[in-house]
Amino acid sequence: MAEFESKERDVKDENTFRSVLVSKGIDFLLSPQGKVPLSSLDQKTTCLFFSANWCRPCKIFTPQLVQLYNNLRGTGREIEIIFISFDRDENGFIEHFKCMPWLAAPFDVDLRRQLSNLYRVNHIPFFISLCSDGMSAGEDAIPMVDDYGIEAFPFTGERRAQLKIIDDIKRRGGKLEDLLASRDRDYVVARVGTKVPISDLTGKTIGLYFGGLWCPPCRAFTLQLTEAYNELKITVNETFQVIFISMDRDEEEFYRNFSGMPWLAIPYRDRTRHELSRIFTIKGIPALVILGPDGKILTTNGRATISSYGSKAFPFTESRLTELEVSLHKEGEGLPRQVHDLKHNHVLKLETAKAYICDSCQRGGRFWVFSCNECNFDLHPTCVEDAQGDLDIDL
Ligand SMILES: [Zn+2]
Ligand SMILES: [Zn+2]
């Protein structure tokens, strides 16, 4: 196995790439201005980009890579990319290469075949760094580019491991600035367009709410969270704050969504949104991550906590949740299994529900409910007007 690994590593250097070209009698590369010698790769981090004009994902990814390449070059990083064409013919290649600012290997079906075997290219677009120690063979660096953008440079396994450690420190380290700010932004925004400094949030309990308007469960959860938020605004005032991390499809949708929310948000155009969902490995929305006053994670499942307990769950600590559970059990033990209510013809049975609307007072309720099995009728235990005098606790 060790021997196999060292062979893999040998393949991934620039000399191997050059020798493949030379063995095919190719001693130059193409730039947008014409031929350049292989020595133009000297002292540079060389990457290969396998792509084709006819491939839709390639068309989406190529402009991203152009931007990344220009940014890297603009900040003085010595990177060179070489396009290896999967186009159907030379004309397709020429057309495709027009949108790229880097170099290309001459169009050659045989060369492409040889290189894609060597680097185990099994799909396109495919992007690798020729100094990618720590990446396994056949591993594409595009997910890393998607996740980390310019930070992914030089696209090696080592760099990826470093970035994961940085993510981990941010997740566990408890510094809100590290988590919420970006290079040129030290604030979050409020609905009215004002900027709130992130330093103002230090010492508060913070909910990071990941949601999108296009997602119906998010719309429902926004209502639940708003209710809890407004209640906490009265009871604990400024010690609880929510930051919206938009998963909306575009900026217009973000504004429509955010305009209905009473809390703060990361600006839509900011990459931090993407970073936060990576750092907290958000797999589905709605999601609510709750951070304690020390900035450390209290729960990543704040959604369930809010749905179950609403504002009562504050300050969202484990001991508070245990306390709530115990008191709920007690409350249930004190209630009869069924009642006859004056307002309803059928027997109402004691059940638990995540959320319901009471048909007497029209307000929301959670957990214990007296519910009709025959029609859609629910009552708060406190809204029951007992018809048979059997609601006494000592039953
Ligand atoms: Zn009621
Ligand atoms: Zn009924």
Mean pLDDT, range 366-387, rounded to an integer:
90
192 close to 261: Cβ distance less than 8 angstroms: no
pLDDT band with cut points at 50, 70 and 90 for residue 392: very low
Residue 13 has pLDDT above 80, yes or no: no
Mean pLDDT, range 229-237, rounded to an integer:
92
Within a domain: 297 = yes
48 close to 127: Cβ distance less than 8 angstroms: yes
List, as ranges, residues with CB under 5 A of the ion ligand 2. 346, 372, 374-375, 377
User: Of the bound ligands, which one is closest to the alpha carbon of residue 374?
Assistant: 2
Asked if 96 and 128 sit in the same domain, the reply is yes
Would the pTM of this model clear 0.85, i.e. be above it?
no
Within a domain: 213 = yes
**Residue 360 Cα to ligand 1 middle (Å):** 5
Residue 4 has pLDDT above 50, yes or no: no
Residue 395 has pLDDT above 50, yes or no: no
Phi, psi (degrees; rounded to nearest 5) at 11? -65, -30
Read off the pLDDT of residues 93-124 as tens digits, 9 standing for 90 and up.
Answer: 999 999 999 999 999 999 999 999 999 999 99
Residue 3 has pLDDT above 50, yes or no: no
**Residue 349 Cα to ligand 1 middle (Å):** 15
Domain-terminating residue out of 325, 344, 359: 325
Asked if 222 and 113 sit in the same domain, the reply is no
Asked if 214 and 251 sit in the same domain, the reply is yes
List, as ranges, residues with CB under 5 A of the ion ligand 1. 358, 360-361, 380, 383
Asked if 89 and 48 sit in the same domain, the reply is yes
**C-alpha dist (Å) from residue 149 to 12, 146, 380:** 22, 6, 52
Within a domain: 395 = no
Within a domain: 125 = yes
Mean pLDDT of the chain: 90
383 close to 358: Cβ distance less than 8 angstroms: yes
**Residue 334 Cα to ligand 2 middle (Å):** 23
Residue 394 has pLDDT above 70, yes or no: no
Asked if 78 and 190 sit in the same domain, the reply is no
Asked if 114 and 209 sit in the same domain, the reply is no
Within a domain: 11 = yes
What is the Cα 93 distance to its own chain's centre?
35
Mean pLDDT, range 161-184, rounded to an integer:
91
**Residue 352 Cα to ligand 2 middle (Å):** 17
- What's the rounded Cα separation, in Å, for the pair 304 and 301? 6
**Residue 373 Cα to ligand 2 middle (Å):** 7
So what's the pLDDT on residue 216? 95
CATH (domain of 99): 3.40.30.10
User: Of the bound ligands, which one is closest to the alpha carbon of residue 348?
Assistant: 2
Read off the pLDDT of residues 29-68 as tens digits, 9 standing for 90 and up.
Answer: 999 999 999 998 988 999 999 999 999 999 999 999 999 9
The parent domain of residue 348 ranges over 334-383
- Output the DSSP codes for 26-83: --EEEETTEEEEGGGGTTSEEEEEEE-TT-HHHHHHHHHHHHHHHHHHHTT--EEEEE
Least confident span in 213-222, 341-350, 367-376, 378-387: 378-387
**Residue 144 Cα to ligand 1 middle (Å):** 52
Asked if 319 and 182 sit in the same domain, the reply is yes
**Residue 169 Cα to ligand 1 middle (Å):** 46
Asked if 213 and 99 sit in the same domain, the reply is no
* Count: domains in the chain: 3
Q: What percent of the chain has pLDDT over 70?
A: 95
pLDDT band with cut points at 50, 70 and 90 for residue 14: confident
So what's the pLDDT on residue 137? 73
User: Of the bound ligands, which one is closest to the alpha carbon of residue 359?
Assistant: 1
Burial class (CB in 10 A: 0-12, 13-18, 19+), 292: middle
User: Of the bound ligands, which one is closest to the alpha carbon of residue 343?
Assistant: 2
**Residue 382 Cα to ligand 1 middle (Å):** 7
Within a domain: 394 = no
229 close to 263: Cβ distance less than 8 angstroms: yes
Asked if 98 and 186 sit in the same domain, the reply is no
Within a domain: 168 = no
So what's the pLDDT on residue 389? 53
* Residues 6+ away with beta carbon under 8 Å from 369: 350, 351, 352, 353, 356, 358, 378, 379, 380, 381
User: Of the bound ligands, which one is closest to the alpha carbon of residue 341?
Assistant: 2
Within a domain: 142 = yes
- What's the rounded Cα separation, in Å, for the pair 245 and 209? 6
User: Of the bound ligands, which one is closest to the alpha carbon of residue 356?
Assistant: 1
Asked if 321 and 354 sit in the same domain, the reply is no
The residue type of 313 is A
So what's the pLDDT on residue 363? 84
Asked if 215 and 273 sit in the same domain, the reply is yes
Asked if 129 and 217 sit in the same domain, the reply is no
